[in-house]
Amino acid sequence: MQGAFAEHVRALEKAGARTRLIRTQEDLEGVDGIVLPGGESTTMTMLMERVGLLEPLRDAIQRGLATLATCAGMIVLARDITDGMGGQRGLGLLDVGVRRNGYGRQVDSFEAQLHIDGLDGKTFPGVFIRAPLVERTGDVEVIASYDHHPVAVRQGRIVALCFHPELSGDLRLHREFVRMAGAKN
């Protein structure tokens, strides 16, 4: 609907996936996984509501649709949002509390080498751009942290990241997502 979807498409296709853009409820039929990209979380949610995609997407993810959420995608999935726009409503499926732009504004963007559990032991280049800050975790597995804060979590078939793997040039997380999406519940 909005956000860095083109970069994810390129990374997923290089990782061996067939991709298609999801813009309507009908587009969800038959997909093995979905990426909720970075972008502007309020705009993403409003557009999903406007085209009738918010509830069907929530249902699909609750039923086990493999989901990769990056940056704003994490905000859209979060149960609690601090500093959201008035009346901002998301999917509320990920048991975390996040602060929008918690790492600062665009000028505060940075890259950090991250150790991600289950990702071959080598560091991953996390690209943080107006990234959300995870302030609370519930029933999630923290798979990477930066400066004592979770920056990557897993909850069932959901992987949510505060950073942008599609901008890193490193396909390992996209390959793992393609593998996860191909594995049935």
Mark whether 166 is an active-site residue.
Answer: yes
Active-site residue, selected from the candidate residues 7, 8, 162, 164: 164
**CATH annotation of 5-17+32-182:** 3.40.50.880
> 84, 100 in Cβ contact below 8 A?
yes
User: Which single residue is written with the structure tokens 């991600």?
Assistant: 116
Mark whether 55 is an active-site residue.
Answer: no
* Least-confidence region, from 28-37, 56-65, 96-105, 149-158: 96-105
Q: What does the alpha-carbon distance between residue 76 and residue 113 come to, in Å, rounded to a whole number?
A: 25
User: Which single residue is written with the structure tokens 């150790």?
Assistant: 115
Tell me the per-residue pLDDT of 91-140, one tens digit each, with 9 for 90 and over. Answer: 999 999 999 888 877 888 899 999 999 998 899 999 999 999 999 999 99
Q: What does the alpha-carbon distance between residue 37 and residue 78 come to, in Å, rounded to a whole number?
A: 14
pLDDT at 86: 61
**Domain regions of the chain by residue span:** 5-17+32-182
> 40, 84 in Cβ contact below 8 A?
no
Average pLDDT on 133-152 reads: 97
